[in-house]
């Protein structure tokens, strides 16, 4: 269970942020099991008592670190208003941004997955964290279906889960396990597979016209 303390002062907010950053660095360097609260306190230069003012346990700290990391990944992979209106180009941009966000945060995401195999609360956390990506993908597909640009028979949520899983697994194999591929080639293949899987029409993307 995540303990959410009330932090009424700027000093308190700075202390809490320092603990989160110290925890993140410690987890990334040593892995979840090897990190002790002493390690985090030493990095943040605070006492044990101060730690427990903000977090009830190492597990609580890890949960908030993980949530912050996935929030950063989500924000980093958002295709903004400056991107082209063409749906194919936006899928391509989203795939590229996601791969780069994964590259910056994959170690901690994998720790959450490992923790989820033995502790139910981390499994629930993992599902909650992935939900933001699934919801965004489902909403995007639904809009394309309403515009007549994608297969109307596809279930938006299930499709988002499956195609999102494809991208996530490739990111793991590519970035964590060392599969060799140029970034642009990887993004191009992921985008072609995604677009064809949802039946994105030729008129919605110049890339597909020449494919």
User: pLDDT, tens digit, for every residue of 14-44?
Assistant: 999 999 999 999 999 998 889 999 999 999 9
* Residue 101 · residue 73 · CB < 8 Å: yes
Whether 5 has a pLDDT exceeding 90, the answer reads no
* pLDDT tens-digit map of 101-138: 888 888 888 888 888 888 887 788 778 778 888 998 99
Residue 167 to residues 12, 97, 131, 149, 192, Cα–Cα distance (Å): 39, 11, 15, 21, 12
Contact present, 115 and 32 (Cβ < 8 Å)? yes
CA dist., res. 88 & res. 91, Å (int): 5
Tokens of 113: 């997955």
Please give the pLDDT value at position 205: 45
Give the pLDDT band (50/70/90) at residue 65.
Answer: very high
Length, in residues, of the chain:
211
Is 150 or 103 the better-scoring residue by pLDDT?
150
**Both tokens assigned to 110:** 């994998």
């Amino acid at each position: 269970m995540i303990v959410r303390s009330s932090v009424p002062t700027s000093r308190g907010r700075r202390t809490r942020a320092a603990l989160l950053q110290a925890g993140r660095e410690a987890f990334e360097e040593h892995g979840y099991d090897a990190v002790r609260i002493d390690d985090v306190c030493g990095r943040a230069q605070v006492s044990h008592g101060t730690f427990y003012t903000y977090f009830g346990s190492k597990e609580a700290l890890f949960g908030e670190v993980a949530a912050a990391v996935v929030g950063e990944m989500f924000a980093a992979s958002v295709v903004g208003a400056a991107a082209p209106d063409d749906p194919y180009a936006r899928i391509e941009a989203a795939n590229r941004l996601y791969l780069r966000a994964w590259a910056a945060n994959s170690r901690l995401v994998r720790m959450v997955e490992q923790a989820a195999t033995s502790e139910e609360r981390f499994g629930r956390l993992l599902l909650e964290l992935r939900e933001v990506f699934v919801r965004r993908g489902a909403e995007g597909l639904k809009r394309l279906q309403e515009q007549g640009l994608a297969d109307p028979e596809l279930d938006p949520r299930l499709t988002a889960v499956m195609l999102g899983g494809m991208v996530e697994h490739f990111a793991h194999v590519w970035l964590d396990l060392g599969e060799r591929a140029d970034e642009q080639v990887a993004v191009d293949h992921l985008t072609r597979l995604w677009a064809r899987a949802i039946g994105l029409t030729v008129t919605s993307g110049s890339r597909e016209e020449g494919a």
